[in-house]
Amino acid sequence: MPPATMPHSVPLPALPRLPRRLRAAAPSWTETTDVCVIGSGVAGLTCALNLRRAGFHVTVVTKVRIDDGSTRWAQGGVAAVLDPVDTPAAHARDTQIAGVGLCDPAAVDITVTEGPARIADLIHLGTEFDRDPDGSLQLTREGGHRARRIVHAGGDATGAEIQRALHAAVLRDPWIRIIEHAMVLDLLTDAKGHAAGVSLHILGEGVEHGVGGVEARAVVLATGGLGQIFQSTTNPSVSIGDGVALALRAGATVTDLEFVQFHPTALYLEGIGGDRQPLITEAIRGEGAYLRDYSGDRFMVGRHELAELAPRDVVAKAATARMSAEGKPHVWLDARHLGKEMLETRFPTVTASCRSLGIDPVVDMIPVAPAAHFSSGGVRTDLFGRTSVPGLYAAGEAACTGLHGANRLASNSLLEALVFAQRIADDLAEHKPSPGVAETPEGEGDVCSTTSRAPIQEAMTAGAGVLRSEASLEGTAASLTALGDNVSGRPRPATWEATNLLTVATAVTAAAHRRRETRGSHWREDHPEAEADWLGHLSLSISSDGELDTTWEPIA
């Protein structure tokens, strides 16, 4: 069947030629395992534990320490149907409304149906969720949810508690090998093109240990998000889209990359600096906090039926528009009426973070502004986490399972990671892949200069951030193309990271330029409405000559 014709197609602007392999020395050492899991957040560690229960030996590779990454910063909680008056159908409906027509109904049904069992798994591992005096799980609401179905821990420290429990469980298992401070470079494949491991580079105590390889029967990408392609993000410094870049170089398909969710309430302080903007959890609005502009008006009232609890894209757009109209760098989150006891017991992390920066939410309004937070798109997978490359799987934020569509519903991210980590393990247990002989990838690719990182972030923020247009995206493309010509002479971690950053930024820019409508978290000022012709998915891959190929898949 020939590919569908893309609606309103316009030629892509000139874009950088992207490498099919990172330039690096041949692996000087190798080790062997059954399954190699890349990433140590909720998706990676849950998958590792599930694979062990299926009898596999597992190697977990992480770029930082095993307890670093985005999971521990997750504040709000995990969405699941645990209240007798709630239903999976209601959770599915809220998910699909947030996704603005682009959710895969099968992925949604699987997630909301299997989710409660995955919460039970976490509790069995020792995760201590907050409970009411009668022992039942406390449930709260967040944006887009029409029922209380968010379980949380430590008030607003859910990710940290889940990471603690998973970390402890992984350390108890002697057959899970952990390689920390290791940057994965490229996928290794066998003669049939099946994933057979990865090449990587280990650093320890500031000493470079050189390039090595982990050979495996299958590889799982659980590398997290890509928020660091922008200047302001809630993601940690390691979240540059390594998994998406690796998958593209390996010939895999990525989908829905234009849908980058900007969290509407990142803490704003002039000159705050740092690699990660502190997040003010959406759950604080779920408990009744207000958004106000500089005039004191609650600008979400009358804009959406759920006011401050509208889906994140609606709130982020409204905040950005109000900031632009007033000429101000932020709006205000007003939680003063919640009271000291509520703020200190239910939101201790937010309260302590604000106070450390001179803001007391008990008496002060909190300055907030949108920041890049979550990528709804990623490496395209099926309902068992399988990518288009045999033996390569993806889970968590690095994956595009079809659950989120054009905009993720709050607290569905941890749920998705838990559900699909189990399904990946189930698939591998059923099919038990045979070991292959890893071959050295062919061809050499350039690597970007270390000086490219900040200019890439600046270009993406200026033209491909919350507000986009054809002109702004073409400006970003021109900047990225110039930066792609800025080649480094020596391959090393900083240049590999810059190359991954350029690869992911280029793919996001291309997808955002192609989609000539506003839908979900993709906002085109020159095409301000959603259009029926664009009800479908944009997928990208890298051709053998380094060009981005785009395909259009309409929803029937």
Give exposure, 187-196, as e/b (b: 16+ Cβ within 10 Å): bbbbeeebbb
Nearest alpha carbon to residue 353 among 425, 274, 420, 421:
274
**For helices 105-125 and 158-172, angle between their N-to-C axes, nearest 10 degrees:** 70
Three-state SS for 238-295 is: CCCCHHHHHHHHCCCCEECCCCEEEEEEEECCCCCCCCCCCECCCHHHHCCCEEECCC
β-sheet bridge partners, residue 138: none
Dist. CA 436–CA 440, nearest whole Å: 13
Mark whether 312 is an active-site residue: yes
Instruction: Give the angle subtended at the CA of 372 by the CAs of 371 and 375, to the nearest 5°.
Output: 155
Q: Hunting for tokens 């027509």 — which residue is that?
A: 101
Dist. CA 95–CA 407, nearest whole Å: 9
Dist. CA 256–CA 378, nearest whole Å: 7
The C-alpha R_g of the chain, in whole angstroms, comes to: 22
Query: Which one of the listed residues 72, 312, 386, 519 is annotated catalytic?
Result: 312
Q: For residues 509 and 473, is the Cβ–Cβ distance under 8 A? A: yes
Q: For residues 377 and 258, is the Cβ–Cβ distance under 8 A? A: yes
Dist. CA 96–CA 109, nearest whole Å: 10
Residues marked as catalytic: 312
